């Protein structure tokens, strides 16, 4: 393993830069490590140390981080249930740091009410970007990143989860889910049943000792996690519906499209076929239009 690059000289340069910084007052949303304590920005450390106080989702968790960086600070509990009350104590002209247990505050974590309150009160809200499990996962997945949807935690109840997964059938963008180890296999099995054997990337324990990135099809993922009990924290990155269907694949469904066009409107025929085959409506629409014109010409 290579020696660390963090030389004393570098620290010297950084500390002189930091002392030049003037912090404007406001609410700082500070991203904190999602595992490896070294994943924190220098600005984050600086703000945590210089704020009037740190508002934290879980004070015990945050105190561990502060103690690692030898930051002596007042930590006030601020979670989903007292966010509104804490928000009302925020004053103009002071610096507040807000942190969640891990990662970026407000992303499947408390904080947005606090942000809303500050925005309404004219208190500036300043992000200190950094670790975020869903973003780390999608970057690592090797799946398209130009469009993606973050769904947070899927419904813990089977029915709700299946309704949500069904909605992904015709969606072409990559989807990101947070999932508990207990529900991981159920999620994958539902996805296979309700979608198709799509590519998936499952990120486990990112930045931690047992970090694992599994890439493969849903069938392969189910096989893998059936033999390796899911443990730890997970993000699922699921490929979207592949809209680049080949000419050959489209030709296979033309007879069914013809049949549907005899009994339903063009719009309904396209919707039904898209539901049945998972082909994108847009692509089917142009074929349906052509077929309908041919059928009209036959009758005239
Ligand atoms: N705000 C956080 C962020 O920006 O990463 C996410 C908070 S959410 C309550 C916690 C969930 O994120 C976990 O249950 C897990 O699904 C995912 N997660 C957090 N840390 C992770 C890690 N190190 N590796 C994989 N997934 C992680």
Looking at the CA of residue 134, tell me the nearest atom of ligand 1. Answer: 5
CB of 135 closer than 6 angstroms to any ligand 1 atom: no
Residue corresponding to tokens 């700082």: 28
- Which one of 38, 108, 214, 236 would you pick to mutate in the ligand 1 pocket, going by the greatest count of ligand atoms within 8 A of its CB? 108
Interval between CA 216 and ligand 1 midpoint (Å): 21
Ligand 1 atom index nearest CA of 152? 8
| Atom number in ligand 1 closest to CA 106 | 1
Residue 35 Cβ contacting ligand 1 at under 6 Å? yes
The predicted pLDDT at position 1 comes to: 53
> In angstroms, what is the span from residue 152 Cα to ligand 1's centroid?
10
* Residue 202, SS3 per DSSP: strand
User: How many Å lie between the centroid of ligand 1 and the Cα of residue 50?
Assistant: 27
pLDDT at 169: 87
The pLDDT value given to residue 173: 95
The token pair at 59 is 């004070």
Measured CA to CA, the distance from residue 239 to residue 226 in angstroms comes to 21
Q: How far apart are CA 235 and CA 202, in angstroms?
A: 6
Q: State the DSSP code for 278.
A: -
Along the 300 residues of the chain, how does pLDDT read in single tens digits? 556 666 666 777 777 777 677 899 999 999 999 999 999 999 999 999 999 999 999 999 999 999 999 999 999 999 888 988 998 899 999 999 999 999 999 999 999 999 999 999 999 999 999 999 999 999 999 999 999 999 999 998 999 999 999 999 888 999 999 999 999 999 999 999 999 899 999 999 999 999 999 999 999 999 999 999 999 999 999 999 876 666 667 788 889 998 998 898 999 999 998 888 877 787 788 888 888 887 777 766
Please give the distance, rounded to the nearest whole angstrom, from the Cα atom of residue 196 to the centre of ligand 1. Answer: 26
Tokens read off for 106:
């407000």
Ligand 1 contact, 87 CB (< 6 A): no
Whether 110 is in the pocket of ligand 1, judged by its Cβ within 6 Å, is: no
Work out which ligand 1 atom sits closest to the CA atom of 204: 25
Q: What is the whole-number distance in angstroms between the Cα of residue 233 and the centre of ligand 1?
A: 6
CA 210 to ligand 1 center in whole angstroms: 15
For helices 218-227 and 184-194, what crossing angle results, to 10°?
150
Neighbour tally for 247: CB within 10 Å: 6
pLDDT of residue 147: 95
pLDDT, residue 203, reads 98
């Amino acid at each position: 393993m290579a020696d660390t690059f963090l030389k004393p000289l570098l620290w010297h340069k950084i500390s002189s830069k930091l002392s030049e910084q003037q912090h404007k007052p406001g609410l700082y949303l500070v991203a904190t490590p999602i595992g490896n304590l070294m994943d924190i920005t220098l600005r984050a450390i600086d703000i945590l140390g210089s704020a009037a106080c740190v508002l934290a989702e879980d004070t015990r968790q945050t105190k561990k981080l502060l103690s690692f960086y030898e930051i002596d600070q007042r930590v006030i509990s601020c979670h989903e249930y007292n966010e509104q009350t804490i928000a009302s104590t925020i004053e103009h002209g002071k610096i507040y740091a807000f942190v969640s247990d891990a990662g970026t505050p407000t992303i499947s974590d408390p904080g947005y009410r606090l942000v809303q309150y500050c925005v309404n009160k004219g208190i500036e809200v300043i992000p200190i970007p950094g670790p975020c499990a869903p973003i780390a996962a999608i970057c690592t997945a090797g799946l398209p990143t130009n469009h993606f949807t973050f769904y947070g935690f899927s419904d813990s109840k089977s029915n709700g989860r299946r309704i949500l997964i069904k909605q992904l059938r015709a969606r072409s963008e990559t989807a990101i889910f947070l999932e508990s180890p207990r529900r991981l296999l159920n999620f994958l099995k539902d996805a296979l049943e309700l979608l198709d054997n799509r590519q998936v990337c499952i990120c486990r324990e990112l930045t931690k000792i047992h970090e694992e990135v599994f890439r493969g099809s849903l069938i392969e993922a189910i096989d893998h996690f059936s033999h390796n009990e899911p443990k730890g924290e997970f993000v699922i990155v699921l490929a979207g519906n592949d809209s680049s269907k080949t000419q050959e694949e489209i030709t296979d469904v033309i007879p069914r499209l013809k049949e549907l066009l005899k009994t339903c409107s063009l719009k309904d025929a396209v919707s039904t076929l898209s539901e049945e085959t998972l082909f994108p409506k847009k692509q089917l629409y142009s074929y349906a239009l052509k077929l309908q014109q041919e059928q009209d010409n036959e009758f005239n």
